Structure 1
């Protein structure tokens, strides 16, 4: 393999092909590559996944079957199978009690060579009772008395088809021989406080655990290696952040007149959290460094107002702003929500989506290039080549589908003077995930609800009480209420018995007539928009929907949310759906309708939702239940792939690594100190090549 410029020669053997290790041929290489192991470095970072405790016993009478034991026996005689397909049995004794070893399809010369009659052998494996007699099927180890005993605790590696424990153990041992002695890159004080071994010692210990305690993420060796991964990752984010900050931005300082006009127009003042976030953003934009900020807010925390105030800073400074949403529904809804605020400020706001007819689109593009449009709202299509701004100063991304760090790096490199960037996320993210995913961004958190937002009463109810639900709905609608009814699938399918939206729509239509509308993702957009408009205006009072309404749909008069088969949704999704009600002044209810019996996971999800409206608490439970990739959605997560570190259980280490990386870069911007040079080694080891180039540009 060709070595990238700059990688220390001591690390070359670790980055050679995996088949440079003894005993790995083409088949072994293919099997290891299935596990993502392509070079010795990957194998070094692939730790045992579990372990086997082997108890050494002197006599069979000490065994507590079924258990894994190691015992010395004398081979008495072999019983080859008389009928094809039957096992080969070997009769042994410990001098008092008999033991039968059982083998399926062994080669005759191999088994007689391994277990010669009259000889003593050490066997280790699972001892069980069969018809009251002790037996061991396919012992894991057959050794002579001169051989070293198998360890009392034996590590077990993850395997793919075509690999055995023996091959993995030998290959890992060979790969460990290639790890050079390295200078310490962790802060010495942290090592003393935590009692961590050196990097090489940690690897050796983690590959040879002596007990189940050594397999724990909190064991000194594993915790240290996890920290190494976190530190390399956070160093990369710190370098990316520094690189972005070095990119010259433009100072956009507003005089506040447009913002004052909007705030005077509101029925109540912004919350403390909104005011704080708006000020942080305005301060960033006023500096000549490019802003890269994440605005993280729970459902209904008022991100839209903060985004509008940010956009107005750009307009006050003589420029333009763009707000990008992931879907057309959301883009149009943002435009509808912001239009009254734009009118109050006396500025022009326009929406641009893929559905705009040619003439309309052309007029918008002309006005945008001339500076006649102050704020543009659209989908990611606003990045197309024919879209030109007169003076774009702020890009706001409503980031339902996330960018990874790499894409943010690419975005940062576009344009002579890239605009300030504000990324909004509606998903409350536990701190450890926010650090791993957005560690290169400054973060503003909205953790208060605006005044007037009502608490939502959340109730769990069995779907066997469906009639009671529709009866209650009838009386609520008679008083003018509006209700969402969410179903998990579009139509009945053979693979699932989840009630379908179309079937539910038909049955509710039979009861409530023309008051019911249906929306789902496979409908033509104009039909979907018409159904939503009827619901928003009150012409319809029940909207049957799939999860297309999960994010951003805003009808303040809707006060009832029914979620059918609620146990089949993820926690964050349920929280987002519930957030569609409680947006006006009316008391709101969310009914979690489940199909009994509930399993443990389903019950924990629904009771968590019933007991709290705190999105950050809900996100933490979701993380504990599902794991990091699932919470964020692995495909678009931009999450780093850690081989050893475990975000769910070691989040505290991530925060330490972030502070450490930022502090070190402040003290040693070029990483030329002894610790800085050692850290470069770590970055090469953890394959953060992109980040090393950022160090090299200084």
Structure 2
């Protein structure tokens, strides 16, 4: 896998090697993220223009693009500078005008000499009852007329690149397309009726009718599949890399788990029991576990994670649970402490705050195996942290934790199993795109006893009513979150929005009742404000969205979200999940600025109608498209050029099973199909995969 396969060289050459592309045009192409012939090939036409020749413009419903044979009549140059240069032409039944602004007489005389026959193609419109074709797209002698495609593809364009230049560059790039060996499973290809790669590329760029532009057209579908396949191969390689890593066989006795279950006031849901069983089966296997535990807000992930950690302890080993922030680490600690007491297990916390002697003592206890379970922040990654026998790492909140960190964590306990927890329900197609290297357990039932949250929409015009309602609630000892919108333009404005709301509420509710947290605060102040709210010292917490993830205040029963229409659905669902954690009735108020636009309304009403995070995620995906759903930049979700994750979700699942099967049959990609797959990885620039193969 030493370097890029030779047959791909022409596709990775400079753009300027293409016909009609000079340095200036090449620069303009960059606006479309096109810098090599390969990028042009994956820049698909999005529509087309019908240029089938017809005998006359007579009877056409204008304006319309018409291709017609004419004889050229009189030229009428413009009377003044910048005026219109007109040429009368005659088709089989009628006359019309060709119009040119800034037309140069000698040029037009030579291209359209009077008395000549020409084929012209362009948009014909009526001006004062006269049919006119302004600046025809094509004007050719009859013998060259066959150069005009009967259906001309239209591409995404950018400043400085015309459709003509794009067409020329693409045509030139298509001459470079090599025949590549087939990487798709032959059965799959036959069943789907897909063409070979080179044929698919040609067909996608030479549509003959509008249906050839659909995502379902065989050529387009095949190219989308290639993209998904390359992505899934990368994930499957990372997965097999993790799997090849020697794991440890960890089997619990079940004794401590039984103690915990006996002490619980409820029985686990079917989904929880199922997830625990899946995780324990993975831990008992000799390969490393790499599993995602996906559950909606309040689906009981903590219990499942604790049972997995107990399995490690019962087997004589240790477990660690990692959170992205100090606050969340403390909350996990509080959540796990009572369970650990029921099980008689030693549980400790390690964060960046641990210093000096205390830290040294904890590290020694960890290395001796006296601490059986550790909860911590990324401080757990530091060099001097050593476990006696680490069997399981549970990682909370995947987003900040990509494939690389997963591999990194693996080094701590060379054979440790990894369980990642995320509270963000994701539709299946995206879960496959983002976590395709992992196996997934889903908690899709709510534990008994969680009360539904009342969700209401209130216009900001009724702000005073809302504040009065809050005043009453605070006097009854209730706690509330008040979330301020993130102002895109600047963090400073964001700050003032939160600040002003804080001052307003403090004036109405009284000193010492209201706390404030926002992104610009020093971490220590943020922690202090959160701690006061958690301890019940303040009743209302005004916050920008920093409270989204994981904060647990069972006494908080009111969530006010200001300018709710400016938040994404998934985010609103996460925020709402901060209340409804205790026994009391909870309310979520969505404050919106009237009038709401259609999307804003759909978003807020979907939220009001359901508390099912997976359903909400599906709606969100339909509404926003995959790119924004998880904020592509931070999620490691790839940018696909041809594939459309919303409409082609089923293809992603096929690509995943195909990629896994291929690697299973041919782990080092040495077979003919394996070698073809290597070419695909180079073609799609899957550098991470290429590195994994070269290492493997």
TM-score relative to the length of structure 2: 0.92
- Following superposition, the deviation at residue 275 of structure 1 comes to 2.0
- Following superposition, the deviation at residue 350 of structure 1 comes to 2.9
- Following superposition, the deviation at residue 392 of structure 1 comes to 2.5
Residue 500 of structure 1 pairs with residue 534 of structure 2? no
Contact preservation (8 Å) 2:390, 2:413: no
Residue 487 of structure 1 pairs with residue 484 of structure 2? yes
Moved more, 203-212 or 480-489: 480-489
For the aligned residue pairs, the C-alpha RMSD in angstroms reads 2.9
Residue 147 of structure 1 pairs with residue 147 of structure 2? no
Residue 666 of structure 1 pairs with residue 661 of structure 2? no
Q: Measure the CA separation in 2 of the matches of 1:90 and 1:144.
A: 16
Which of 73, 76, 101 is the equivalent residue of 2:73? 76
Which of 25, 29, 34 is the equivalent residue of 1:37? 34
Q: Measure the CA separation in 1 of the matches of 2:494 and 2:114.
A: 61
Q: Measure the CA separation in 1 of the matches of 2:295 and 2:23.
A: 51
- Following superposition, the deviation at residue 183 of structure 1 comes to 4.0
Q: Measure the CA separation in 1 of the matches of 2:357 and 2:435.
A: 40
- Following superposition, the deviation at residue 677 of structure 1 comes to 4.2
1:328 is aligned to 326
* 1:574-603 CA-partner distances (Å, limit 9, x unpaired): 000010111112222211111111111101
Q: Measure the CA separation in 2 of the matches of 1:495 and 1:478.
A: 33
Contact preservation (8 Å) 1:487, 1:499: no
Say how many residue pairs are matched. 694
Moved more, 67-76 or 447-456: 67-76
Contact preservation (8 Å) 2:324, 2:400: no
**Superposed counterparts of 1:518-667, under 5 Å:** 518-667=516-665
- Following superposition, the deviation at residue 106 of structure 1 comes to 4.1
SS of alignment partner, residue 251 of structure 2? coil
Shift of the 521–693 alpha-carbon distance from structure 1 to 2, 3 Å rule, reads closer
Residue 27 of structure 1 pairs with residue 24 of structure 2? yes
1:189 is aligned to 187
2:304 is aligned to 306
SS of alignment partner, residue 682 of structure 1? helix
Shift of the 87–319 alpha-carbon distance from structure 1 to 2, 3 Å rule, reads farther
* 1:134-160 CA-partner distances (Å, limit 9, x unpaired): 223222111122222523321012233
SS of alignment partner, residue 523 of structure 1? coil
- Following superposition, the deviation at residue 652 of structure 1 comes to 0.5
Shift of the 497–342 alpha-carbon distance from structure 1 to 2, 3 Å rule, reads closer
SS of alignment partner, residue 426 of structure 2? coil
Which of 157, 160, 163 is the equivalent residue of 1:159? 157
- Following superposition, the deviation at residue 339 of structure 1 comes to 2.5
2:8 is aligned to 11
**Superposed counterparts of 1:160-309, under 5 Å:** 160-309=158-307
Contact preservation (8 Å) 2:239, 2:438: yes
Contact preservation (8 Å) 1:55, 1:68: no
Residue 64 of structure 1 pairs with residue 61 of structure 2? yes
Contact preservation (8 Å) 1:535, 1:541: yes
Contact preservation (8 Å) 1:75, 1:90: yes
Residue 315 of structure 1 pairs with residue 310 of structure 2? no
* 1:655-675 CA-partner distances (Å, limit 9, x unpaired): 112222223333444545554
Moved over 6 A (4+): 490-499
Unmatched tracts of structure 1, length 5 or more: none
Q: Measure the CA separation in 2 of the matches of 1:115 and 1:278.
A: 79
Q: Measure the CA separation in 1 of the matches of 2:356 and 2:114.
A: 90
Moved more, 291-300 or 269-278: 269-278
SS of alignment partner, residue 152 of structure 2? strand
Q: Measure the CA separation in 2 of the matches of 1:525 and 1:6.
A: 46
Shift of the 694–385 alpha-carbon distance from structure 1 to 2, 3 Å rule, reads closer
Residue 423 of structure 1 pairs with residue 420 of structure 2? yes
SS of alignment partner, residue 500 of structure 1? helix
Q: Measure the CA separation in 2 of the matches of 1:206 and 1:461.
A: 49
Unmatched tracts of structure 2, length 5 or more: none
Q: Measure the CA separation in 2 of the matches of 1:345 and 1:415.
A: 26
Contact preservation (8 Å) 1:498, 1:565: no
Q: Measure the CA separation in 2 of the matches of 1:496 and 1:212.
A: 47
2:338 is aligned to 340
TM-score relative to the length of structure 1: 0.92
Shift of the 672–355 alpha-carbon distance from structure 1 to 2, 3 Å rule, reads closer
Shift of the 121–339 alpha-carbon distance from structure 1 to 2, 3 Å rule, reads same
Q: Measure the CA separation in 1 of the matches of 2:666 and 2:307.
A: 37
- Following superposition, the deviation at residue 558 of structure 1 comes to 1.6
Shift of the 91–244 alpha-carbon distance from structure 1 to 2, 3 Å rule, reads same
SS of alignment partner, residue 538 of structure 1? coil
Q: Measure the CA separation in 1 of the matches of 2:21 and 2:27.
A: 10
SS of alignment partner, residue 199 of structure 2? helix
